[in-house]
């Protein structure tokens, strides 16, 4: 046993739990913990420009890493409230991050001290656990419990709040006697696997819906093996994209109202059986339950018991970690295949492949200003197969999911349920910190990019290089398209005559992202014409490698391009009738009405 400050014990615990990187902003109430981090020198710290951004950096770090958990640090009061969006985003997508906040002294917690707020109560609805530690000797054990909870069952975030006097108090602690707690994960039994496979065997047109739980469980290889043994086509969810390569013969496309493929929706509508593994039947995947479930039977496997039946009741529900379930299913399916007991779905798989080849959206346009579809076509050509894409929300992300290609797990990193604007830039810095050697490309519309544009400086300061594709139409594009239902185009334009922009063709697009990026210590390239694509991608790659900073690659788009989406998976509006046009927003609204 050794005598030390509670914060010194906390840092030893972080090390033992595998933490090597933290993101945050120091402040008076958290400075004791920072002093312990400095004294040890074992945890890299990335200084964010905003605490919400630090929480998204922690998210990006966890999402990109198969093992390590992202950590976010902040002081008392507004630092904790700034973390709430990150906690919500992580909780919604089952992502473990650890947020640690400073707090006023215990004796002042109810005295309305400066920056003293009950952050545990505020964070509780969006965290797996949120706690203010009131006794110094509980600090190491609280962190032990936090890591255990984050990793067990359905993963999720935890907030630990440390009053400053608790941090500074001395305790007796022996790190050599400390061990991380065993992780609890429920597992499918053989009997459950046999029931599920018997239901699958009775189907003529089955599909596997592969969710983000498979990626969380690092079980994508098992999914592919199971699909190949059975011959059943796979529809990944947005959070499960990459569980099976896009060009695999059994990858049947994504289904949904927005981030979907025409062939994926068509195949889902034809299916008579759906085997959901590690997914949550999100509404933008399903649309209305009545349309999605019509004429189908369902098996649902999820690690969280309350997810089974939350959206609709499956014909069979099994509580299990996705990896454990796939291992058991694979064992039984292999035995059945050897014994000749498995149904042959090769004809159905060929039907799915035929749709995949035939039902594609047009991408090749020569328009100036640029059409976004062409940008994604060129991205597929320019970036290597192992590229990791990071994105959040908006037409830029929706079009990315419709037109880009992903071939590996954790190569599409996206906040699915929360979708906060501004998430992309800080999250991609966390991804880079977790994977120093990866090919990383962020994807933003202009408004998402502007939301937390200050974090470019963090990327430059800490040498976190990546390429940030910004598709700029000077609009809140998704909201503008949504406003068609109200026959309006109101307060969604970001355009203005920027008196400092020299190029008249771009002056009306408002913010000069190239100038801002360069002011933040980064590099930037702007593209306005199709013939500039190839050179711009090469130049961005060269600048990133030479200067080891983020490189902004901005594409000036036509102001209005509607992206295919709809209210039901059988009622997606395709905009091919407008594909050759170049209307402004009011004209486009009139045409669509």
Catalytic residue among 421, 464, 552, 569, which? 421
Q: Which of 416, 393, 403, 415 is nearest to 372 (CA)?
A: 403
Q: Which of 193-202, 375-384, 515-524, 577-586 has the lowest mean pLDDT?
A: 577-586
pLDDT band at residue 562, thresholds of 50, 70 and 90?
confident
pLDDT band at residue 128, thresholds of 50, 70 and 90?
very high
293 and 329 assigned to the same domain? yes
Convert the pLDDT of each residue in 490-546 to its tens digit: 888 888 888 887 765 666 788 999 999 999 999 999 999 999 999 999 999 999 999
124 and 197 assigned to the same domain? no
Span 216-230, average pLDDT = 97
How crowded is residue 204: how many other Cβ atoms within 10 Å of its Cβ? 12
Look at residue 367 and tell me if it is in a domain.
Answer: no
Whether the pLDDT of residue 484 is over 90: the answer is: no
Strand partners, 413: 390
* SS3 label, residue 343: coil
Q: Which of 24-33, 100-109, 171-180, 474-483 has the lowest mean pLDDT?
A: 474-483
Q: Which of 96, 102, 45 is nearest to 74 (CA)?
A: 102
| Number of domains the chain contains | 3
280 burial type by CB count under 10 A (0-12 exposed, 13-18 middle, 19+ buried): buried
Looking at residue 505, its pLDDT comes to 60
67 and 155 assigned to the same domain? yes
| The domain boundary residue, chosen from 336, 358, 380 | 358
Look at residue 363 and tell me if it is in a domain.
Answer: no
Give the pair of three-digit tokens for residue 255.
């289904």
Convert the pLDDT of each residue in 436-447 to its tens digit: 999 999 999 999
Look at residue 443 and tell me if it is in a domain.
Answer: yes
* 71 annotated active-site: no
536 and 450 assigned to the same domain? yes
Catalytic residue among 7, 51, 158, 413, which? 51
142: enclosing H helix or E strand: helix 139-151
481 burial type by CB count under 10 A (0-12 exposed, 13-18 middle, 19+ buried): buried
121 and 233 assigned to the same domain? no
Phi-psi region at 476: left, alpha or beta (left = phi > 0; alpha = psi -120 to 50): beta
Lookup result for tokens 């307060």: 491
Phi, psi (rounded to 5 degrees) for 41 = 70, 20
Which regions of 44-85 does DSSP assign to beta strands (E)?
A: 44-47, 70-74
* 560 annotated active-site: no
**In terms of residues, how long is the chain?**
593
Cα 217 from Cα 223, distance rounded (Å): 11
| The domain boundary residue, chosen from 177, 209, 243 | 177
How crowded is residue 170: how many other Cβ atoms within 10 Å of its Cβ? 13
pLDDT band at residue 115, thresholds of 50, 70 and 90?
confident
Whole-structure pTM over 0.85, yes or no? Answer: yes
Cα 178 from Cα 4, distance rounded (Å): 15
Catalytic residue among 330, 476, 553, 557, which? 476
Instruction: Write the CB contacts of 38 (distance below 8 Å, at least 6 apart in sequence).
Output: none
Catalytic residue among 311, 316, 368, 479, which? 479
Whether the pLDDT of residue 579 is over 50: the answer is: no
Convert the pLDDT of each residue in 177-213 to its tens digit: 999 999 999 999 999 999 999 999 999 999 999 999 9
* SS3 label, residue 2: strand
66 and 121 assigned to the same domain? yes
pLDDT band at residue 583, thresholds of 50, 70 and 90?
very low
172 and 222 assigned to the same domain? no
Containing structural domain, residue 213: 190-358
Convert 456-521 into a string of H (helix), E (strand) and C (coil).
HHHHHHCCCCCEEEEEECCECHHHHHHHHHHCCCCCCECCCCCCCCCCHHHHCCCCCHHHHHHHCC
Cα 140 from Cα 359, distance rounded (Å): 56
How crowded is residue 131: how many other Cβ atoms within 10 Å of its Cβ? 18
Cα 47 from Cα 53, distance rounded (Å): 10
| The domain boundary residue, chosen from 155, 177, 199 | 177
Span 381-407, average pLDDT = 93
Span 228-233, average pLDDT = 97
Cis peptide leading into 107, omega within 30 of 0? no
458 and 393 assigned to the same domain? yes
pLDDT band at residue 67, thresholds of 50, 70 and 90?
confident
Looking at residue 580, its pLDDT comes to 40
- The number of angstroms, rounded, from the C-alpha of 278 to the middle of its chain's C-alpha atoms is 15
Residue 337: which CATH number?
Answer: 3.40.50.1220
Look at residue 331 and tell me if it is in a domain.
Answer: yes
* 332 annotated active-site: no
Looking at residue 111, its pLDDT comes to 82
Q: Which of 593, 555, 259 is nearest to 416 (CA)?
A: 259
Catalytic residue among 12, 13, 14, 25, which? 25
Look at residue 184 and tell me if it is in a domain.
Answer: no
Give the pair of three-digit tokens for residue 153.
């069952």
* 476 annotated active-site: yes
Look at residue 265 and tell me if it is in a domain.
Answer: yes
Is there a contact between 222 and 213 (Cβ–Cβ < 8 Å)? Answer: no
pLDDT band at residue 350, thresholds of 50, 70 and 90?
very high
Span 60-85, average pLDDT = 94
Is there a contact between 402 and 259 (Cβ–Cβ < 8 Å)? Answer: yes
Whether the pLDDT of residue 464 is over 90: the answer is: yes
Q: Which of 399, 372, 381, 394 is nearest to 579 (CA)?
A: 372
423 and 311 assigned to the same domain? no
Residue 134: which CATH number?
Answer: 3.40.50.970
331 and 308 assigned to the same domain? yes
581 and 541 assigned to the same domain? yes
* 51 annotated active-site: yes
153 and 217 assigned to the same domain? no
Q: What distance, in Å, lies between the first and last C-alpha atoms of the chain?
A: 74
């Amino acid at each position: 046993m050794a005598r030390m400050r509670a914060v010194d014990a906390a840092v030893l615990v972080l090390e033992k739990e595998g933490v090597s990187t933290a993101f945050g902003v120091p402040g008076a109430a958290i400075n004791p913990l920072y002093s312990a981090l400095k004294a040890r020198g074992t945890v890299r710290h990335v200084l964010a420009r905003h605490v919400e951004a630090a929480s998204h950096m922690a998210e990006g770090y966890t999402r990109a890493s198969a093992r390590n958990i992202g950590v976010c640090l902040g002081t008392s009061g507004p630092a904790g409230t700034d973390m709430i969006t990150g906690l919500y985003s992580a909780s919604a997508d089952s992502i473990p991050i650890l947020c640690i906040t400073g707090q006023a002294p215990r004796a002042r917690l109810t005295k309305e001290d400066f920056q003293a707020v009950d952050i545990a109560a505020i964070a509780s609805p969006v965290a797996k656990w949120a706690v203010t530690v009131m006794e110094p000797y509980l600090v190491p054990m609280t962190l032990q419990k936090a890591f255990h909870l984050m990793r067990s069952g359905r993963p999720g975030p935890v907030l630990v709040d440390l009053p400053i006097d608790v941090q500074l108090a001395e305790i007796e602690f022996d790190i050599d006697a400390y061990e991380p707690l065993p992780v609890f994960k429920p597992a499918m039994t053989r009997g459950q696997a046999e029931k599920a496979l018997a239901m699958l065997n009775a189907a003529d047109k089955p599909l596997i819906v592969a969710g983000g739980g498979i990626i969380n469980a690092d079980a994508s290889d098992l999914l592919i093996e199971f699909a190949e043994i059975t011959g059943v086509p796979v529809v990944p969810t947005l959070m499960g994209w990459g569980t099976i390569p896009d060009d695999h013969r059994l990858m049947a496309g994504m289904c949904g109202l927005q981030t979907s493929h025409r062939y994926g929706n068509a195949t889902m509508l034809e299916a008579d059986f759906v085997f959901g593994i590690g997914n949550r039947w999100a509404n933008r995947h399903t649309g209305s339950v009545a349309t999605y479930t019509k004429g189908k039977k369902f098996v649902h496997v999820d690690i969280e018991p309350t997810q089974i039946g939350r959206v609709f009741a499956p014909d069979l529900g099994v509580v299990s970690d996705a990896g454990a379930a796939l291992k058991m299913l694979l064992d039984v399916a292999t035995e059945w295949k050897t014994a000749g007991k498995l149904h042959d779905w090769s004809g159905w798989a060929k039907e799915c492949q035929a749709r995949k080849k035939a039902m594609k959206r047009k991408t090749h346009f020569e328009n100036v200003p640029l059409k976004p579809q062409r940008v994604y076509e060129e991205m597929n050509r320019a970036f290597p197969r192992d590229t990791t894409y990071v994105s959040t929300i908006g037409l830029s992300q929706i079009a990315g999911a419709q037109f880009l290609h992903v071939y590996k797990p954790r190569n599409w990193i996206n906040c699915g349920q929360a979708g906060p604007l501004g998430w992309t830039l800080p999250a991609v810095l966390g991804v880079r910190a977790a994977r120093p050697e990866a090919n990383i490309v962020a994807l933003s519309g202009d408004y998402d990019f502007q939301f937390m544009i200050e974090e470019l400086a963090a990327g430059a300061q800490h040498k976190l290089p990546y390429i940030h594709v910004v598709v700029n139409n000077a609009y809140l594009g998704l909201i503008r398209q949504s406003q068609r239902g109200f026959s309006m185009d109101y307060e969604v334009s970001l355009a203005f005559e920027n008196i400092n922009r020299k190029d008249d063709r771009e002056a009306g697009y408002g913010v000069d992202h190239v100038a801002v990026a360069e002011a933040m210590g980064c590099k930037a390239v702007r593209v306005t014409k199709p013939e500039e694509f190839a050179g711009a991608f090469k130049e961005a790659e060269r600048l990133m490698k030479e200067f080891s900073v983020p490189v902004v690659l901005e594409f000036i788009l036509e102001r209005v391009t509607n992206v295919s989406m709809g209210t039901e998976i059988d009622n997606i509006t395709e905009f091919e009738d407008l594909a050759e046009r170049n209307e402004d927003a009011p004209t486009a609204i009139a045409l669509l009405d």
